[in-house]
């Protein structure tokens, strides 16, 4: 299949917009005819694809599941995970609802202060920008790929999704820092489980975890199972374990040596030259590779508008590092 694409994405040095057809039905059929081509396009774009005009998914959610299967063998059923069931689509359990509206009722992220960066653009760099993570990094093996579809996006210039490219950031990492992170593992915790940096700073005592909820170690430098490229992979305030981590084997806690190292790595990883900010249009669909990108959500005015996005998560090829592992999130 010859794929028409525009690459990189605007104002970024990675990502591609694919043109596969006019309607979601046509696009999904084209993708299903040659799944290898889509996976190759994702790898070539260093982990981020934009497919537009997918509006028909809103009335036919199975199209989203079919497209997800093009990218891997297992599309997650959210009923069997650590997910709150009010965030799961009522009739298609492979769809996670991301919304400020009922029944989900998840508030948008805080607006950064100041709202714009010194260059007049939306802030991306940590710690001005918070919320960087990869999806479900608190589970092992972690998922490969996420698909995110805009049913009802928020107003222009709000509610963007930001991406930082771990491959580009790793390549540009100073040699001394590269050596420090080479064999390092981060300790990732589920957001909302009481192990955030805020919770540690406030001196709270985290609740005990059942075995299947425990924080999980993940390498800070990942090797991509398809391309062999190495990338930086890390979360920050909300999705690391700030009581026992953020790193394994380095002084823990919000004021420890681990905290200082995390701040340094995250500030590098999220430099604007490694980032892309997606402005959503209704019907847009993004496909991103959690094995080489981190991402963050941005503020929108949840008092004035309701935003609804659908996400699916694809598993099946986390890489040799995780070979043979059982799913950490399933109770024994």
Give me the residues that bind Fe ion (CB under 5 A), please.
135
**Closer of 53 and 215 to Fe ion (Cβ):** 215
Question: What backbone phi and psi angles, to 5 degrees, belong to 253?
Answer: 95, 165
Least distance (Å) from Fe ion to the CB of residue 11?
21
Of the pair 135, 229, the CB lying nearest Fe ion is at: 135
Q: Provide the minimum distance between the beta carbon of 275 and Fe ion in the complex, in angstroms, as a whole number.
A: 15
- Neighbour count for residue 59 (Cβ, 10 Å): 8
CA atoms of 79 and 84, how far apart (whole Å): 8
Give the shortest CB-50-to-Fe ion separation in angstroms.
17
Nearer to Fe ion, 313 or 317 (CB): 313
Q: By the 8 A CB rule, do 136 and 143 touch?
A: yes
Please give the residue whose beta carbon sits closest to Fe ion in the complex: 135
**Is 309:283 a contact under the CB 8 Å cutoff?**
no
Instruction: Quote the least distance from Cβ 3 to Fe ion, whole Å.
Output: 26
Identify which of residues 135 and 236 has a Cβ nearer to Fe ion in the complex: 135
Nearer to Fe ion, 27 or 50 (CB): 50
**180 three-class SS:** helix
The angle at the Cα of 9, spanning 8 to 14, to the nearest 5 degrees, equals 50
Q: How far is the CB of 143 from Fe ion (least distance, A)?
A: 10
Total H helices, total E strands in the chain: 7, 15
Decide if 100 contacts 306 (C-beta within 8 A).
yes
């Amino acid at each position: 299949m010859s794929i028409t694409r525009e690459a990189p994405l605007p104002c970024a040095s990675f990502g591609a917009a694919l043109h596969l057809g006019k309607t979601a039905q046509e696009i999904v059929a084209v993708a299903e005819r040659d799944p290898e081509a889509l996976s190759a396009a994702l790898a070539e774009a260093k982990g981020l694809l934009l497919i537009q005009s997918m509006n028909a998914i809103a009335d036919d959610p199975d199209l989203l599941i079919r497209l997800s299967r093009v990218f891997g063998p297992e599309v997650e059923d959210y009923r069997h995970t650590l997910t709150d069931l009010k965030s799961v689509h009522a009739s298609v359990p492979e769809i996670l609802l991301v919304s400020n509206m009922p029944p989900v009722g998840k508030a948008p992220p805080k607006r950064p202060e100041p709202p714009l960066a010194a260059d007049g653009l939306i802030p991306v760099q940590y710690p001005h920008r918070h919320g960087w993570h990869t999806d479900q990094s608190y589970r092992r093996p972690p998922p490969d790929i996420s698909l995110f579809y805009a049913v009802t996006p928020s107003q222009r210039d709000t509610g963007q999704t930001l991406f930082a490219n771990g491959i580009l950031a790793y390549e540009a990492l100073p040699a001394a820092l590269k050596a420090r992170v080479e064999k390092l593992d981060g300790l990732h915790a589920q957001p909302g489980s009481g192990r955030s940096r805020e919770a540690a700073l406030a001196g709270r005592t985290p609740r005990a975890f059942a075995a299947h909820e425990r924080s999980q170690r993940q390498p800070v430098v990942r090797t991509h199972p398809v391309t062999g490229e190495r990338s930086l992979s890390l979360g920050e305030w909300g999705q690391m374990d700030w009581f026992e981590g953020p790193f394994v084997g380095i002084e823990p806690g919000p004021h420890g040596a681990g905290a200082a190292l995390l701040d340094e790595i995250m500030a590098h990883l999220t430099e604007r030259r490694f980032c892309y900010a997606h402005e959503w249009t209704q019907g847009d669909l993004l496909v991103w590779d959690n094995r080489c990108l981190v991402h963050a959500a941005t503020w929108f005015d949840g008092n004035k508008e309701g935003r609804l996005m659908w996400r699916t998560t694809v598993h099946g090829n986390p890489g040799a590092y995780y070979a043979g592992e059982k799913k950490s999130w399933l109770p024994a």
